Structure 1
Amino acid sequence: MEQEYTDMQVTAWGGMQEMKRIIDKTGINKKLQSLGLPEGKSNNKISASDTIESFWVSIWIGCFRFSHTAVVRLDEVLRQIFGWERVPSATTYGRFFKKFTPSMNHDIFIELYSWFFEQLQFDNYTLDVDSSVITRHGEQEGAKKGYNPTKRGRNSHHPLFAFVNDIKMVANCWNRSGNTNSSNNCIHFLEETFSILKNKKIGLFRADSGFCSESILKFIEDKTTAYVMSCKLYANLQSTIYGITNWQPIGMGIWITEITFKQGGWSKARRIIVIKQLEEVRHKTTGKKLTSLFKQADLDKEKVYKTRYHAFVTNQTLPAIEIWEQYKRRGDAENRIKELKEDFGVQGFCMDSFCATETAMRFVMIAYNLMSLFRLLTLQKQPSPTLATLRFNCFAVGSWIENKVLKMSVPLKRRQ
């Protein structure tokens, strides 16, 4: 087949018109303009709000690096859909994010996130806190050797996330050096997150064992917020669990019980729910074995070698099995992190400056929330697809503009 070239302005992303409508309906562009974002001084400058908006569009259509954003810059139809005068280059994005300072980030993002959640009528949130590891291939600021399960010994960042589970959105995000542990600086992070959601009720707080410290427990208890957190199975708790005899069966090869226990470093005893599962029956079970007791000669070998345990601390009075069901739903936070990495390029927009990298990361979170809002409004009770699915089923539409009308090449069967 022969081929020809044309100067006709065509885009592969006509479906982005829907995201333009979301941006207009939320009024987030006007909010960005009111935040005092750093603006360039050149007569040929691109406004801060247009820079951020085009950055979001780049993420939505699949750009994982600043160099990929050239796809948007060369797309004249996308520029007209969103009404930008010009689209930034990869280096322009880098210069823009490097203008932000830590104090500016603190003020701007608290106000922006707070404003965003104020617009949502939904209340009584379940707040999940989790951390992740992002491997870095270079000597970027803050990239240090620390816990890295996939790339051992490699430099990394260790960001901290707060998710609103009910609506699948990000309430807050901080970047951190790779050599920090899960709970490092978590109190300040929680203080900022609670100030963001200051006019919303946080009905339940959940976190894994990396956050189960006295300082965090006391912070949440002082807020009179219900919580459930996974406990670290230190030797003294393992010994207590080993001696438990009153287990209640709740399924094949699984039992539950509860105790009141004071973990080392805690100021008081707290209610702990314990789950026991037999490996022989539940082959895919996770949890911890009572490894600290291995050296004792009189141990029940089945209790130690063939059984795995989970322990959860809570301040609620609900039945033990309800507490366990609550905690199991926390696993959705892992899905959010996976989607941020695989679909939203949270690993890719990295610069030499730590603060600039964090700024880009936090704007990625806003892009994620806007996409979550799109899913809530359009799909409602239907299963929520990933951005990759939406990208090819909804946004990838060959289009052109004719007499100020966006012409979208969509077969009749696909239009709905």
Structure 2
Amino acid sequence: MILALIYPMILGLEKIEVSSLLKTNGVFHFLTGLPTFPDPQTLRRFLVRSSTELLPSLWKVHNDLKKYFILQSSTLSSFCFDFDSTAKTLYGKQEGVVKGYNPGHPGRKSYHPLVVSESSLKDCLGGFLRPGNAYTSDGVVDLFQQARSILPTSIRLRTRADSGFYDGSFVRTLDENHVKFAIVAKTSSPLKKLFLSARYQRINDRFSTSELLYQPGKWKKPYRYVVLRRIVDPEDDGLTLFTLDRYAYSMIVTNLDITPYGVFDFYKARAGLERIIRILKNDFPFAGAPTNHFCANALYAELSLLAYNLVMWFKRLCLPGDWQSFTLESLRHKLLLMPGELVHTGNIHTLKFPRNSPNKDVFEFALKKIKTMDSLV
């Protein structure tokens, strides 16, 4: 039943109703080993009835797979976690779909899931569904600890997050785990006075930087804050805290031992996670609501994260180097949805491609790679 949910996600059949097209596709049944394909109502019942028991087990299996494929495919000595949340606008009376953080559609009901990715590999190392009124940083400490447990203890780790994660308990957890971090700070009156009166070092005609130590109320210790002051530009990014006169100010709390401008350069690379979230929401059914039950939809969200990672692992381990930059849409059209014919001769089934099929060699390359991989069961 799980495969009947994941295969359509990978193929781009995002809604359960659309996946019913596979019900009468005998070639698909043969190639996947599925004797039949469940109808949409059966799939929904499975999600509702199995979610409470199955979701914790799926988390464990998925984490084990993440750990395995990271070790298989990477020689990196350090990793970078990027955290973000997103709003998924929904229409209906699904459990947990309520008004809350939804900048794209203010006032609309939504889910507000949380995601963490690894910036170099582009793997999604964790994520979960939350009600629409969840605060941005709700659950981030648990998500960090889950993602950290996937990596070898010898790995050096850095973390980036926007101002929604400017939270004392999160910063303290990162610091206590010897994780280098860069988190966009929220302004306060005392902090604003400090960096408005600070001395700035000119970087170029537009940018100047400064730094200071500051301990917010209820935080256990002071931390380093780096400030970027720049001449106001209408196209300034979301790092801007506020503007005053002709300057815009941005601030990051960090324990990185690099220059203030280097901290901002490091943070800007976090934009990769925004692309991953767009893929999860547009190319996979992440944070969708196929049922009215929150736990069932949370299971569906975890399956969509697994489907995304399976595609990433397949691309990284089984496809040629010049295919590594291909988008999921390109992979679907060029490889996963290739035209072919299943021929039955005697007791032998043969999958044949049209003559001069442009990507037949890539298909065979991937198949050979798959056959050399160790079985996980």
The TM-score with structure 2 as length reference comes to 0.86
Tell me the secondary structure at the aligned position of residue 405 of structure 1: strand
Letter in 2 for 1:395: L
The corresponding residue for 2:365 is none
Matched, 1:259 2:212: yes
Match of 1:271 among 207, 219, 224: 224
The corresponding residue for 1:360 is 300
Contact 2:158 2:181 in 1 (8 A): yes
Q: 252-261 or 81-90, which moves further after superposition?
A: 252-261
Matched, 1:192 2:146: yes
Q: 1:318/1:118 Cα in 2 relative to 1: closer, same or farther (>3 Å)? A: same
Letter in 1 for 2:329: A
Contact 1:159 1:173 in 2 (8 A): yes
Contact 1:143 1:178 in 2 (8 A): yes
The corresponding residue for 1:40 is none
Distance in 2 (CA, whole Å) between partners of 1:116 and 1:59 is 19
C-alpha displacement at 1:84, in angstroms? 1.2
Distance in 2 (CA, whole Å) between partners of 1:412 and 1:287 is 46
1:90-109 equivalences under 5 Å are 90-102=40-52, 104-109=54-59
Q: 1:383/1:146 Cα in 2 relative to 1: closer, same or farther (>3 Å)? A: same
Distance in 1 (CA, whole Å) between partners of 2:115 and 2:198 is 36
Letter in 2 for 1:406: L
The corresponding residue for 1:31 is none
Matched, 1:130 2:84: yes
Match of 1:339 among 275, 279, 284: 279
Contact 2:116 2:126 in 1 (8 A): yes
Match of 1:161 among 85, 110, 115: 115
Tell me the secondary structure at the aligned position of residue 98 of structure 1: helix
The corresponding residue for 1:86 is 36
- % of aligned pairs identical? 23
Match of 2:237 among 282, 286, 295: 286
Letter in 2 for 1:363: L
Contact 2:84 2:115 in 1 (8 A): yes
Distance in 2 (CA, whole Å) between partners of 1:289 and 1:374 is 39
The corresponding residue for 1:150 is 104
Distance in 1 (CA, whole Å) between partners of 2:79 and 2:199 is 37
The corresponding residue for 2:375 is none
Distance in 1 (CA, whole Å) between partners of 2:241 and 2:141 is 30
Match of 1:179 among 124, 133, 153: 133
C-alpha displacement at 1:351, in angstroms? 1.3
Distance in 1 (CA, whole Å) between partners of 2:9 and 2:329 is 11
Matched, 1:242 2:196: yes
C-alpha displacement at 1:318, in angstroms? 2.1
What is the number of residues matched between the two proteins?
A: 352
The corresponding residue for 1:58 is 8
Letter in 2 for 1:391: R
The corresponding residue for 1:17 is none
Distance in 2 (CA, whole Å) between partners of 1:348 and 1:312 is 33
Q: 1:382/1:402 Cα in 2 relative to 1: closer, same or farther (>3 Å)? A: closer
C-alpha displacement at 1:202, in angstroms? 5.1
User: Which runs of no fewer than 5 residues in structure 1 stay unpaired?
Assistant: 1-50, 292-302
The corresponding residue for 1:402 is 343
1:222-233 equivalences under 5 Å are 222-233=176-187
Greater relative contact order structure (CA < 8 Å, 6+ sep): 1
Q: 1:381/1:245 Cα in 2 relative to 1: closer, same or farther (>3 Å)? A: farther
1:123-163, Cα deviation, whole Å (9 max, x unpaired): 53211111110111011011111121122212111101111
Distance in 2 (CA, whole Å) between partners of 1:254 and 1:357 is 46
User: Which runs of no fewer than 5 residues in structure 2 stay unpaired?
Assistant: 362-377
Contact 1:118 1:199 in 2 (8 A): no
Q: 1:316/1:54 Cα in 2 relative to 1: closer, same or farther (>3 Å)? A: same
Q: 179-188 or 403-412, which moves further after superposition?
A: 403-412
Distance in 2 (CA, whole Å) between partners of 1:214 and 1:376 is 37
C-alpha displacement at 1:375, in angstroms? 2.1
C-alpha displacement at 1:387, in angstroms? 1.2
The corresponding residue for 1:117 is 67
Contact 1:66 1:349 in 2 (8 A): no
The corresponding residue for 2:24 is 74
Distance in 1 (CA, whole Å) between partners of 2:240 and 2:359 is 52
Tell me the secondary structure at the aligned position of residue 179 of structure 2: coil
C-alpha displacement at 1:244, in angstroms? 1.9
Distance in 2 (CA, whole Å) between partners of 1:289 and 1:413 is 48
Contact 1:129 1:206 in 2 (8 A): yes
C-alpha displacement at 1:113, in angstroms? 1.6
Letter in 2 for 1:393: K
Tell me the secondary structure at the aligned position of residue 270 of structure 2: helix
Q: 1:287/1:221 Cα in 2 relative to 1: closer, same or farther (>3 Å)? A: same
Q: CA RMSD in A?
A: 2.2
Q: 1:60/1:410 Cα in 2 relative to 1: closer, same or farther (>3 Å)? A: farther
